[in-house]
Structure 1
């Protein structure tokens, strides 16, 4: 891990790391205390410099592979339910990631949305809280943050990055991927710092942040969808609840339904990007406990001890 020349628009030197377990096909840059994929770094800097949040904005914030696709679909379906029902939703023909603009990649699209007569409030980002544009932190906009068991995140992250178009690494060593993640070297990592940043902000800064745990949402999806809708300012009426609107949104956005849609079985997300992603990669398993097939006893002990140390006193449980 060696420093490289300061990049344009940066305020401090950037360090780089090339992932050996991916045959050196993915470069991570460390800036402002977190790692980012090289292709996303400039977009993050541009967002920090130019993006102006509005009080009506709703930000879907997450670390990669923690349930982002599902949360985007649910939030989109909630906000657009008066315009589209479950039989006409854009989610039936459009990847959820293309329904919600991404701060680090879609600044132009976000600005175009702002110029429309009806402002679309959803914006997504993987940036840590400390790296968000200052306008987000200082505004009254809402932040929804989803997090997940770290062991399943590591496994999902491992499978995802090994199948990116410019990596395509067959039989990548999981142990090396685990060790790198354990050291905090991962896209938008360290993971625990990412979570703690938003958790600390929700307590210290008085910022309005809704924390959702992926596993808890799966256990009681209906109450969490209601909670999400109320928080982002689109609560369900009694009439809607009685008419089954919540259940319809849950079915529309279910993993099984989204995975089996033609749009999510073929094609690429951002086909012109170096790290273009096959749409189907966003719908691998959505299974709790998949990590048990990959972790050794030593890995379990190491990561559990680390989480106990990092999250002590927070009440957050990631193991």
Structure 2
């Protein structure tokens, strides 16, 4: 029997158009101001904020191609401001008719919140994941982003879709990110582990050079929009959400999204049940959140730490407090926005 002749495998070459696009992208990237990052090699200053190098092209693709629908819900946060918690609460609230909290197969018991509410820049517009634009079963399309308001796609601003912004005080946000960074570096995510210290990161943070920052521009962008267009942007404070199991803020959230709790639901304890299901204690102990990865380089367990208000006092020295306090007072003076630190 004659042996079949093997055909050598020849790698597919990119088309001339693809090569030109890649070269143009590299040239554009090289034209941007850059600083070193703490979870990756660089931060690029793009459209008024510091964009992590690994998602720059995803952000641009999101801006160019996303077509918002009036029923969409966008959850916006600065990194490490309670994003995972907000995703869980919002998903459970708007889908409570489809998935009652006592359902043994509730999606939050079997999936990480970041899988149920994908990031635009880390998930949807990365690696050809546009199928995530068409979620199954959910009553509304639900997405999240860390991008500042000014840099959001025009379709989001012009449509009737709604934005929920969760803000956390800068001291706890700083510590939460620093702890996340240390965990990431131990997993080999950072390229230069020895380059970063807490004092160095505070110096960068105080200059506004950090992922999706400056912090003050990010927060104030959504804050001002929430004052001018309260039907468009709901501004929620992390510390208020921690008060009294978050019942008051959860009611605000549900009403804003047009999924208000009925009198019968309130009497029946529906809000308390959702708060319990989405609590750090419950989510952190779930098997799905103890192992695996829902995003490259990030283990699920890294999204669940303490979730406390005022944990920063266990880390900051007096001089560090004075430095950040001075910056915050300077940037937020006269804006009407205040923070609770303890």
Tell me the TM-score normalized by structure 1: 0.89
* Equivalent residues, number: 306
In the superposition, relative to structure 1, how do residues 179 and 6 fare at CA in structure 2: closer, same or farther (>3 Å)? Answer: farther
Secondary structure class of the residue paired with 2:33: strand
Give 2:294's aligned residue. Answer: 269
In the superposition, relative to structure 1, how do residues 289 and 117 fare at CA in structure 2: closer, same or farther (>3 Å)? Answer: closer
State the alpha-carbon separation in 2 of the partners of residues 195 and 106 from structure 1. Answer: 24
CA contact 1:6–1:12 (8 Å) conserved in 2 = no
Structure 1 segment 175-190 matched on structure 2, within 5 A:
175-190=199-214
Gaps of 5+ in 1: none
Gaps of 5+ in 2: 1-22
Asked whether 1:120 is paired with 2:140, we answer: yes
Give 1:230's aligned residue. Answer: 255
Selected match of 1:191 from 203, 215, 227: 215
In the superposition, relative to structure 1, how do residues 117 and 95 fare at CA in structure 2: closer, same or farther (>3 Å)? Answer: closer
Asked whether 1:30 is paired with 2:54, we answer: no
Structure 1 segment 138-149 matched on structure 2, within 5 A:
138-149=158-169
State the alpha-carbon separation in 1 of the partners of residues 196 and 314 from structure 2. Answer: 15
Structure 1 segment 101-180 matched on structure 2, within 5 A:
101-104=118-121, 105-107=123-125, 108-113=130-135, 120-164=140-184, 165=187, 166-167=189-190, 169=193, 172-180=196-204
Selected match of 2:105 from 88, 101, 110: 88
Asked whether 1:18 is paired with 2:36, we answer: yes
Asked whether 1:203 is paired with 2:218, we answer: no
Tell me the TM-score normalized by structure 2: 0.83
Asked whether 1:297 is paired with 2:318, we answer: yes
Give 1:306's aligned residue. Answer: 327
Secondary structure class of the residue paired with 1:123: strand
In the superposition, relative to structure 1, how do residues 258 and 118 fare at CA in structure 2: closer, same or farther (>3 Å)? Answer: closer
CA contact 1:6–1:13 (8 Å) conserved in 2 = no
Secondary structure class of the residue paired with 1:163: helix
